Amino acid sequence: MIRIKSGSFVFALVFGSLWFLSSCVETVEEQQIVYYNNFSGVDLAGFENGRLFVWRGDTIAGYYNNEEIAVSIPELPPHNYLKITVELLIHDTWDGNPSDGGVSGPDQWYMGADDTEFFRTTFSNTPCASTFCLYQSYPNNYFRQNIPKTGAIQTNLPGLCLFGTTPNYTTRYRVEQLIEHINPSVRVFMGDNLLQTNSPDPRCDESWSVAAVQIETILTNK
């Protein structure tokens, strides 16, 4: 009698936990690309501060130094997440994490949606040796000590301005961020706080461009 009771109790406990676990698994019900722009169509609808130029045969937005750009999408399908993917080009002599008395760093880049910044990091294009290295935070949020170019998808491009003829001075990244978001519209912004007070032309010393932006809405059963 007692055995049967405890057995059914265990059964109920195991079954109950399984039901609880399966009901907690979050699954994607709908995923949709609501914005994609690689600027090849020279389409800047909804874009703020979208300057285009051709670099190595590709039309891209840039190049920026101490500037912000944004793209607004007025009507989004129902969603509870946004996935934002930016193909970012980091040009010339970014100095990464170090704050050397506010002369050349930190060199920060950030991204946000609506009124909320959700990602702030640094990039470094400088050579790195065991005795001297200007670390960067990417792919993590600032502050984290990663070696220069960590997480890059291409590192062998020449610089754009100061090191325009020197290989390995533009680094390409695919920055991906998944954020919780339910508003029916969105304004995605990105910008930099670059520091190079000892340069006569800071924008030539270090800058960034955007080769593509993609925004996806995701609806889950959560």
- Tell me the sheet residues that pair with 220: 28
By the 10 Å C-beta count (0-12 exposed, 13-18 middle, 19+ buried), 60 is classed as buried
The reply on whether position 192 binds Ca ion by CB under 5 A is no
**Does residue 196 touch Ca ion according to CB under 5 A?**
yes
Stretch that binds Ca ion, among 34-42, 47-55, 163-171, 192-200 (CB under 5 A): 192-200
Position 104 contacts Ca ion (CB under 5 A): yes
Tokens of 66: 């101490």
Minimum separation from the CB atom of position 117 to Ca ion (A): 20
Residue 95 in the binding site for Ca ion (CB under 5 A): yes
Binding flag, residue 137, Ca ion (CB under 5 A): no
Cβ proximity to Ca ion, 87 vs 205, nearer residue: 205
Q: Does 107 bind Ca ion (CB under 5 A)?
A: yes
Site string for Ca ion, 48-87 (x = CB under 5 A): ----------------------------------------
Please provide the DSSP assignment of the chain as one string. Answer: -HHHHHHHHHHHHHHHHHHHHHHH---EEEEEEEEEE-STT---TTEES--EEEETTEEEEEEESS-EEEEEES---S-SEEEEEEEEEEEE--B-S--STTSS---EEEEEETTEEEEEEE-B-S-B-SS-B--B-TTSSSS--B-TTTT-SEEEE--SSTTTTSTT-EEEEEEEEEEE---SSEEEEEEEE---TT-S-HHHHEEEEEEEEEEEEEEE--
| Beta carbon of residue 92, minimum distance to Ca ion (angstroms, whole number) | 7
Q: Which of 206, 207, 208, 209 binds Ca ion (CB under 5 A)?
A: 206
**Nearer residue to Ca ion within complex by CB, 122 or 217:** 122
Give 47 or 123: the residue with its C-beta nearer to Ca ion. 123
Q: Which is nearer to Ca ion, 125 or 217 (CB)?
A: 125
Q: Which is nearer to Ca ion, 87 or 95 (CB)?
A: 95
Among 37, 93, 124, 137, indicate the residue that binds Ca ion (CB under 5 A): 93
Binding site for Ca ion (CB under 5 A): 93, 95, 104-105, 107, 195-196, 205-206
